[in-house]
Chain A
């Protein structure tokens, strides 16, 4: 499986704090990777460097063979992004919002792309609703629709199910699995929900204090550390609880 996204030696320091200290991340074509770690582990900083929103002090990010620092537009053409905490532009309808982002991706038929994305997440009924009136769950689903408008090769998701009720969170997870299985879309996801990580992540990259602590299929990582499960491992690394490997 060739790497669609490949980052090597990513390092970022904010004043005296090393947020990310030399991280390698790769996501293969059609692969599902989960980036996990306790608060302050450097997940979001890593993710934002992978997306070009934060410039690394050191390291290289390549997406589809294009160097992100030198060809951001080309590199990002095949990437979609959504975050559970990220609102949508105000005072626009859902359809107008999605058409706007479809246009930014240079799609020749934005309306068809919007209809397809709305159908993918089963939210056609929200098309004419103003974004500021959406519930948290509806906003997340629209954000996900935004992320897949241009049928990206890779979808990057930061805490996509944070503060969602179980029903919407289930729909999100199932939708992402469908996207991956039906279209072969690669997924890079961060989450604090370890059951979600086990479900979505074929491979996980476990960060702690800005470095990769463990990497591999979730079951292999748990087996290697001797913890009861991923949650126990997470709690042990976070300094809470007594994992078997402690």
Chain B
């Protein structure tokens, strides 16, 4: 696990694109959303909602993106066959990717929080203690999505690369990161309720309004996220089997 994480840290540290994703995107997103809050809000609450929202968005997105990009790096390097002919186990490889993704995700959300705090005087912890279980559920969800994306890349190759950054963008508007899902068109509101992380963002908004920890919403979110994680693991196992039986490694060598 440590060897995989170190290998990816070294490779990513030497590519400017990874630094851009790590540093520039979180800061720019924080500035953009906080400024929208300042421009259209009558008090500090919209800024707090938007900064907290973008921070949590990066929590999910960065984890998914970095894990998927780490796996894609092996494909771009044509390194899968090298790895498959060592005693490395699949779960050790995934653990290494997850570790480096967590580190990068931590850097990203710290930058969003600092930007909000320093430039807009918004505390990144305005929502209170609900942030802790909320962040845990979002991390689990992001990890599950990253497994799903890796599974799709295994099966469909680089053409599935778009899911590495695009899948979360599909879920973000539906899950109400920046607004209550009642703001969605009526036809989309039922859809938003089956996205597991919708309940997390509801709970965060309750926290921002001083309502404490909404355990009910968090429990529903956790249950949905666990189901998502289970489905992702099953999909990955199926795609790994398909990868070996169809001889797809030759497409990446």
B86's closest neighbor in chain A, by CB?
A104
Interface string of A76-95 (1 = CB under 8 A from B): 11010101011111111000
Contact A81 B85 (CB under 8 A): yes
Interface of B: prevailing SS? helix
Q: How far apart are B85's CB and chain A's nearest CB, in angstroms? A: 4
Which of B14, B88, B244 touches A53 (beta carbons < 8 Å)? Answer: B244
Interface string of A187-225 (1 = CB under 8 A from B): 000000000000000000000000000000000000000
Q: Which of B5-13, B138-146, B202-210 contacts its partner?
A: B5-13
Question: Considering residues A52, A89, A101, which has the most beta carbons from chain B within 10 angstroms of its beta carbon?
Answer: A89
Cβ of B227 under 8 Å from chain A? no
Q: Which residues does chain B contribute within 8 Å of A79, judged by CB atoms?
A: 85
Q: Which residues does chain A contribute within 8 Å of B106, judged by CB atoms?
A: none
Cβ of A227 under 8 Å from chain B? no
**Chain A interface bracket (under 10, 10 to 19, 20 to 34, 35 or more):** 35 or more
Cβ of B35 under 8 Å from chain A? no
Contact A90 B87 (CB under 8 A): no
Q: Which of A3-11, A43-51, A178-186 contacts its partner?
A: A43-51
Contact A53 B7 (CB under 8 A): no
Cβ of A12 under 8 Å from chain B? yes
Cβ of B76 under 8 Å from chain A? yes
Contact B87 A88 (CB under 8 A): no
Q: How far apart are A119's CB and chain B's nearest CB, in angstroms? A: 22
A14 to B88, CA, bound (A): 27
A81 to B79, CA, bound (A): 12
Contact A92 B249 (CB under 8 A): no
Contact B87 A77 (CB under 8 A): yes
